[in-house]
Amino acid sequence: MRTNPTPLQASTKHALIAVLVLILFSLALYSPVGRHPFLNYDDGRYLEDNAHVKHGLSWASVQWAFTSLEESNWHPITWLSHMLDCEIFHLNPAGHHYTNVIWHSINVALLFWVLYNASGLFWRSVIVALLFAVHPINVESVAWVAERKNLLSLFFFLLTLAAYQWYARRPQLGRYLSVAVLFALGLMSKPQVITLPFVLLLWDYWPLRRVLNQREESCQQQEQSIPPKPWPWLVAEKLPLLALCVPSAVLTLRAQTAAGAVTSFNHYPLPIRFANAVVSYSRYLGKALWPSHLGVLYPYQPATLTRLQISLSALLLLLITAGCLFARKRYLIVGWVWFLGTLVPMIGLVQAGVQAMADRYAYLPFIGLFIAVCWGLADFAAYRSSSRHRLLAPSAVALVALALISHHQLGYWSSNLELWKHTAAITTNNYVAEDEIGTSFLEQGDLEHAMPHFQAAALIRPSDPLSNSNLAFYKMNHGDLAGALAQYKKVTEMTVDERSRATAFFNMGSIYQQWGDFSAARDNFQSAVNIRPRNVRAWIGLGAASQRAGDFDAAIHAYSQAVALQPTDVTYLLLAGALKQSGRESEAASATQTATHLSQNIAETQQFVESIVGH
C-alpha cells in the first residue's frame, strides 16, 4: 500500500533534484576548460614553478603550506588543494581545471541549498543559483587555476552560513564552534571572506529574522522556528568570529607588504582611493547588468577618472541605497549591503596589486545583487497580480543569454595569447597585458614578436621588472652582455619580488661567468640562493663558479644543496666532479654510480655537465 509523501518529504525531494540539476548544468557549461592550458600569469607560481606544490603532498610541503606567505597571502588550505591536485594529476592542466569546475558546481548547489533552507522559497533560490552559475563575471574565477582560492573560500563561506542557521535554531557551544571552524577554514583559503561576521548580522535581519520585535513582512515567508535576540546580543555573538579575523588580516598585510604589493598612501592618497572605489562600484554594477568587455586585469589609472565620472557614480550608489531603504524590503537592504560590504576588502582602499578592479573579486559580492534582483522581481510580479509563470520566459531568456556569453568568454581562455590580446584590446595602457602577450610569444619560441610587447610594457611602466628582465634577456641572447647586465641591475633595484630579483641575480652571475669573473659570478649566484634557497639552478651556478675558481669545498657544498633539492643525474655528476677534484675519490665514485643509475644517457649527461663547468 502506497502513501503520499508529506510536504516536507516532497520539498526535500525537489530540493535534491534541483541540486543535481544545478551541478550537472554547471559542469556542462564549464566543460571546455578541460582543453585549456595553464594561464601564464600566476599559475606557474602556484604550480609549475613551485617546488613545494608540484611534487604533491608530503609532510614537508604541508609544513610549508601553513608557514608560507608566498604569493602575497597566507592560505594554507588553498596550497593543500593544489598539492592534492599535483599528487593526482601531476602537471596535466585538464585535471586542475576540472577540479575548479567541480568546486564551482558545488558552490552553485550549496548556494541554492543555503538560500532555500533559510527562506523556504524554492524557485527564487533556484534562480539565484542559476544566475551565479552562468554569469560571465565568474568565468575568471573558474577558468583560472590559481583562483582556486576564490572557489574554496566561497565554499567555506556558504557552509558557514548553513552551520550558522543550524546554530541559530538551537544555540549551543558545539554548533557555534562548527561555525567558527568553517569560518577559519574560509580565511585559510582566501582572506576575502573576512567580512563574514557582518554578513551573519545581515542574515540575522533577513532571512533568519533573529532580531527581536521584528514584524512579519510578507505572507510568503515561512514560520520561523528561530528564537529572536536583541541587537546587542547578536553583535556580541559575532565577537569571537571577529577575533579570528585579526590574525588573518595581520598575516595578509604582512605577506602583501613583503611582496611589495601594497601601494603606499604617499603614492595614492586616500581621496584618490575613494574616488577609484566609487567608480569601481558603479563599473561592477554595469558588468552585472551588461557583462561585456571582460578582461583578466583592469589597470589602476586614477588619473583618468573625471569629476563627472566620480560624481555620477556616487549619485548612482546613493540613489540605489535610498531606494532600498525607501522600499523597506529587507531582502533589498541585505542584498545591496552584501554587495557593498563584501567588496570592501578588494575595492582598493588598501591598494594591493596593480588592478583597479577584477572580475574574480565579484564572485562573492554579486550573490547579494542576485538575491536582491530575484526576490525583487518576484515580489513586483506578485504586487502587480501577475502570474509567476509570466516571469518564466524572460528569466529563461536572460539565463540562456548569460550562458552563451559565458561560453564565448571561456573561448578566450583556451589560449594565453588570445586571452591577453583580448584584455589589451578592451583596456588602455595595460602593461601587464603587454607583458603577458610577450610571454605568450616567448612560450612559442618567437622572441622577435615578443620584444615589441615588452618594449611597450616598459614604455607604459618604466619600473616594470618583467618587461625589463625580458629586454635584458633579449640583449643577452644577442650578445650585448654589458647592456643585459645593466638592465638586470635595474631589475634588482626596482622590485622586492623575490622571484624576479633571484632570476636577475642568477642571470648576472651567468654573464660574469661568461666573462671569466668568477668572484663576481659567485657573489651574484650567492645573492640568488640567499633570496630563494630552493633555486636549484642558482646552486648549480654557484657550484660551477666556485669550482672554476678552484674553491672545491664551496663547490661541493653548493652541488650538495642542488642534489638535496633535485637528485638527478646532472646534479649527482656535478657533485662527483667536484669531489674528484678535491681528492675524495670514493665519494666521487659513489656519486658517479648514482648518476649513471639515474641517467638514461650518461654520455649525453656528461657532455652537458662539462658545458656547465667549462671543461
Instruction: Give residue-wise pLDDT tens across range 207-237.
Output: 999 987 644 444 434 445 788 999 999 999 9
Per-residue pLDDT, averaged over 184-200, amounts to 97
Lowest mean pLDDT: which of 21-30, 102-111, 134-143, 604-613? 604-613
Per-residue pLDDT, averaged over 569-577, amounts to 94
Q: Which residues contact 380 (CB under 8 A, 6 or more apart)?
A: none
Per-residue pLDDT, averaged over 271-295, amounts to 96
Q: 387 pLDDT band (50/70/90 cuts)?
A: low
Please write the tens of the pLDDT for every residue from 496-526.
888 899 999 999 999 999 999 999 999 999 9
Please write the tens of the pLDDT for every residue from 56-89.
999 999 999 999 998 889 999 999 999 999 999 9
Contact 528, 509 (CB under 8 A): yes
CA-CA distance, 240 to 255, in Å (whole number)? 24
Helix (H, G, I), strand (E, B) or coil at 446: coil
CA-CA distance, 178 to 184, in Å (whole number)? 10
Query: 604550480: which residue's cell?
Result: 47
More confident: 382 or 529: 529
Q: 582 pLDDT band (50/70/90 cuts)?
A: very high
Which pTM value belongs to this model?
Answer: 0.90
- For the chain, the domains span 267-383
CA-CA distance, 46 to 36, in Å (whole number)? 17
Residue 351's pLDDT is: 79
Residue 289: exposed, middle, or buried by beta-carbon count in 10 A (0-12, 13-18, 19+)? Answer: exposed
Residue 223's pLDDT is: 46
Contact 407, 29 (CB under 8 A): yes
Contact 111, 128 (CB under 8 A): yes
> Residue 158: is its pLDDT beyond 50?
yes
How many Å separate Cα 161 from the centre of its chain? 22
> Residue 7: is its pLDDT beyond 60?
no
> Residue 1: is its pLDDT beyond 70?
no
What percentage of the chain exceeds 90 in pLDDT?
82
Residue 438's pLDDT is: 96
Contact 491, 465 (CB under 8 A): yes
Other beta carbons within 10 Å of 506? 24
Helix (H, G, I), strand (E, B) or coil at 262: strand
CA-CA distance, 438 to 431, in Å (whole number)? 11
CA-CA distance, 199 to 178, in Å (whole number)? 17
- The secondary structure of residue 430, as a DSSP letter, is -
Give helix 148-169 / helix 76-89 axis angle, nearest 10°.
Answer: 120
Mean pLDDT of the chain: 92
Distances, alpha carbon 431 to alpha carbons 50, 106, 292, in Å: 25, 36, 21
Strands (E), 304-367: 355-357
What cell numbers appear for 197 in the block?
Answer: 561576521
